[in-house]
Every structure is written in structure tokens, then in C-alpha cells.
Amino acid sequence: MPDDSAHPAAAARPQALAAGRPAKPLSGRVAVPGDKSISHRALMLGGLAVGRTEISGLLEGEDVLATAAALRAMGADIVRETDGRWIVHGVGLGGLAEPADVIDLGNSGTAARLLLGILATHPFTSFVTGDASLRSRPMGRVITPLSQFGAHFLSREGGRLPLAVTGAANPVPQTYRLPVPSAQVKSAVLLAGLNTPGETTLIEPQATRDHTERMLGHFGATIRVEPDAGGARHITIEGYPELTAAPIAVPGDPSSAAFPLVAALIVPGSDVTITGVGLNPTRAGLIASLKEMGADIALENQCIEGGEPVADLHVRAGMLKGADIPPERAPSMIDEYPVLAVAASHASGRTIMRGLAELRVKESDRLTAIATGLAACGVRVDVAGDDLIVEGTGKPPAGGARIATQLDHRIAMAFLVFGLGAKQPVAIDDARPIATSFPDFVPLMNRLGAQFTKEG
């Protein structure tokens, strides 16, 4: 038969992939891609700053490339150098221009919600869309606070993309209290406040990842973070700052590091080091949870880069035990629950992961996807309200299932990791979404000794 892999339709076909138990323990020293959250913000704030921002270690996944394309469409000059550095020549705060075409943000909820924050206080009209997964996700929780600045939104039912946003010509500063923990909503409000006179204050009763606050300070914005008597954080941004270009070294993404980390824990005899991983305290919930489960994880070569703590993770396999993961930890590891559930399925005893409502509005309904996938692989699992309960036996789970990823990159990677420790191989229906956050996932895991094979 002729090779049709170069045919335009080939790229649109699902790419099934299977993972089985490797012949030998995983071993080696690897670096994961740059942090996705920091990469998005580096491009956005670099585009709003005055001058030349140099970014090293930028994640070059589809999500981040969509952010770069959106900013280019509004006038920012963004180029990738041959040595892998990215250079952003910003237009200055308020200097973005009306895009000539629809902005397509692919699969990226972070890009969509943060960019809507920027657009809400720029006085022109933009049209924003994404892929099928992104178009199914609710944007109402950013539309509500951003509308209070004076922006106008026209969206599909349920606040879904595609939508049109006309930014406020005379934005009004706001004080907004987050109804549920969300770093994306917080960031959208703070970014809207940049181009708004006076002070905008965001109140978060429960701390979420703070990359936006750290990076705003890095670019010269005036931002205050003050706790109140009840423990809530009041984050205040002064409008119309002179953002100044500043170099950024993007650390390794802890959400990406989670996959080789858990793989090393569940494949007997494994010894793996993951270098240069960002360990922001608002992102370190997975490591804390795994250590409570008995994981052997050592932090080596700890340092600070660009205001963010960084370390190498030295991981050795060993028996894990069940644990009770508290709901207040959820914001610091919300993207890591799929792979934590994989670790729990290989542990001894019951693991309860509490307060996971946020998982229902990710790239897929991750709470349901995790539970359905684990059950198909022979794991005893239950969803009680917003809690996920996994019963591990301390022995390798059965596996042998084919998992519907629902176009969700983290579900895809989590169940490939599952297959490395299961009795029978586990297949996923489509590996293409992995490229949104971790384009090098398969070759990196294969370098460690994983066995991933294409199906079909």
C-alpha cells in the first residue's frame, strides 16, 4: 500500500498508542519542557512591555505557540532564534492592535482565559475560538468579572467559545472576590487591571498558583499581596504601570515532570533524575502528596531562577501506600490528579483525593475520565461528590484496556504511564493531544526505557 502519512488528512486521524511493562527498570537523567503556565505569561507580559524580552526554555507546545500567534496578530514582534531563545519586542501597555482575523487558541484554556483578561481593557473588538475541546469549556467565570470592567462579550450559550469581546474604552477598576479557587480567573482580572486606571484588587480565599503575581513584579508592575484576618489574600495591581522588558528563564514544568516521576515510582527498580523542575510552592502539591504515600523523591541542586524555586528531582521506585489528600491542596496540583490517581492505583490501600470539582471543567471532565479509565483497567474506584477514591492492592493492576482520552493530553499521558506498571498493556485512542503541552513525551519516556508502541 502507498504511504499516505504525508497526506493532509493523515494528520487529522487519531493516533492510537499503547504502553506495556518495560523489560528493565526506568533509568536516566532527563529534562522536561519549560513550564506551560510561565511560558504563556512570559509571552503575554513580554508583548505588553516596552523593549526586548529574551525568553529561554520556553515550552514549544501547541498551546504556547497559539499564544505567540495571538500576540503577533495584535502587533507584537515574536521570533524564535536558532539557538532556541525566543525574542519578544513588546508594543507597550495599551499598544495592542485589533486583530484582522479570528484568534484561534487551539486547546489552551490558559491562553483563552488570560488573553480575555488582556482584551477586556483594550478598546477594540476581537473574535476568539479554539478546538472542539476548548469550545466546550465554560468561559463564564472570566466573562463575569471582566464584564464589570466595562467589556462586552457575545458568546455561545453557557459562555462558550467562539465569542466576541469588545474591550472597555474607559475601564473601571474592580475589587473582585473569587467564588472558587482559580489561577486563571485571578490572572485574567489582574491582567485586565493593568490597563485600567487606579487600583484593581483580587481577593482569593484560598491560595492558587502565583506565577502571574511573580512575573508582574519581574516586569516592573506595582503589585501588593496582603492577607486579611481570615487568611484570604488581597492582591492589588496599580493600573497603567510602565512594564519594562526583562529576561526570563522558564523552569521545567512540574505538571510535565509528574509523568516520568510517577512512572519511576511504579516501575520496580527504577532510578530517574528529572533536572531543573520548577518548585513554586503553589505548584508543589503532587510532591507533598506522593511523599505522604511513601515516595522516595529527593530534591537536589536547589536554586532560584527568575524568582521561581528550581531543583532536580531524584526519584527511586518503591512501595506506595494510600493517603488522604486534603481539598485545600487541590489548587497546587489540579493538573496532576490524573497521574496521582495512577500512582494511587499502584499503591497499597485507599487513597482519597478530596475537593476535585475543578477537574470537571478542564480539557475534559477529568474526574469522570479518570474514574472510567481506572475502572476499565480493573481498579476499584469511586466518585463521591467531588472526591475521588482509589483502592490499591499493592500489586500491579490488571490493565488491558483501551482508554478514550477525550482529546485531553493529561488523560492520555496518565494512562500511558499506567500501562508501564500494569500486568497487561494499556492503549489510548489518540496521542495527538499530548503535543499541546509535552511534544517530547514519547521519545523522552522511551529514552528512560519505557515501551510505547503505535497501534493501527
Domain of 345, CATH number, reads 3.65.10.10
Among 201, 220, 248, give the residue marking a domain's end.
248
Cell for 98? 485589533
One domain, residues 204 and 288: no
How far apart are the C-alpha atoms of 171 and 178, rounded to whole Å? 20
One domain, residues 336 and 271: yes
Rounded to an integer, the average pLDDT of 35-58 is 96
One domain, residues 228 and 359: no
What's the pLDDT tens digit per position in 99-117?
A: 999 999 999 999 999 999 9
One domain, residues 90 and 149: yes
One domain, residues 390 and 242: no
Rounded to an integer, the average pLDDT of 350-361 is 92
For residue 1, give every residue at least 6 positions away whose Cβ sits within 8 Å of its Cβ, in sequence order, or none.
none
One domain, residues 78 and 23: no
137 in helix, strand or coil? coil
Reported confidence tier of residue 4, pLDDT bands at 50, 70, 90: very low
How far apart are the C-alpha atoms of 407 and 133, rounded to whole Å? 7
Q: What per-residue confidence (pLDDT) applies to 306?
A: 66
Mean of all residue pLDDT scores within the chain: 94
- Give the helix/strand (H/E) hosting 142: helix 140-148
Q: Is residue 100 part of a domain?
A: yes
Adjacency order of strands within the sheet including 199-204 = 175-177, 199-204, 233-238, 223-227
Q: Is residue 4 part of a domain?
A: no
**How big is the chain, counted in residues?**
456
Domains contained in the chain, number: 2
Q: What per-residue confidence (pLDDT) applies to 449?
A: 98
Reported confidence tier of residue 455, pLDDT bands at 50, 70, 90: confident
How far apart are the C-alpha atoms of 61 and 438, rounded to whole Å? 6
Query: Looking at 303-312, 378-387, 445-454, which range is the least confident one?
Result: 303-312
One domain, residues 240 and 258: no
What is the CB neighbour count within 10 angstroms for residue 156? 12
Reported confidence tier of residue 56, pLDDT bands at 50, 70, 90: very high
How far apart are the C-alpha atoms of 151 and 153, rounded to whole Å? 7
One domain, residues 220 and 296: no
Cell for 419? 500501562
Q: Which residue has the higher pLDDT, 127 or 305?
A: 127
3-state helix, strand, coil in the chain (%, to 5): 35, 30, 40
How far apart are the C-alpha atoms of 201 and 210, rounded to whole Å? 15
What's the pLDDT tens digit per position in 139-179?
A: 999 999 999 999 999 999 989 999 999 999 999 999 999 99
Rounded to an integer, the average pLDDT of 439-444 is 95
Among 216, 231, 248, give the residue marking a domain's end.
248
**pLDDT of 2 over the 50 cut:** no
Q: Is residue 3 part of a domain?
A: no
Q: Name the most confidently modeled range: 6-10, 177-181, 188-192.
A: 188-192
Rounded to an integer, the average pLDDT of 192-210 is 95
Q: Is residue 445 part of a domain?
A: yes
Cell for 402? 483501551
Q: Is residue 2 part of a domain?
A: no
Q: Is residue 1 part of a domain?
A: no
One domain, residues 309 and 408: yes
Q: What per-residue confidence (pLDDT) applies to 295?
A: 98
Q: Which residue has the higher pLDDT, 206 or 349?
A: 349
**pLDDT of 362 over the 90 cut:** no
Q: Is residue 279 part of a domain?
A: yes
Reported confidence tier of residue 436, pLDDT bands at 50, 70, 90: confident
Reported confidence tier of residue 12, pLDDT bands at 50, 70, 90: low
Q: What per-residue confidence (pLDDT) applies to 180?
A: 87
Catalytic residue annotation: 335
**pLDDT of 11 over the 60 cut:** no
Among 224, 248, 272, give the residue marking a domain's end.
248
Q: What per-residue confidence (pLDDT) applies to 10?
A: 40
Q: What per-residue confidence (pLDDT) applies to 305?
A: 78
Q: Is residue 205 part of a domain?
A: yes
Alpha carbons within 13 A on the beta-carbon side of 261: 29
One domain, residues 180 and 69: yes
Considering only CA atoms, which of 351, 350, 346 is closest in space to residue 263? 346
* Domain, as residue range, for 44: 36-248
Rounded to an integer, the average pLDDT of 234-252 is 96
Cell for 84? 532556541
- Global confidence as pTM: 0.82
One domain, residues 46 and 20: no
One domain, residues 141 and 290: no
How far apart are the C-alpha atoms of 256 and 338, rounded to whole Å? 12
What is the percent of the chain where pLDDT is above 70? Answer: 97
Rounded to an integer, the average pLDDT of 284-291 is 96
Q: What per-residue confidence (pLDDT) applies to 1?
A: 39
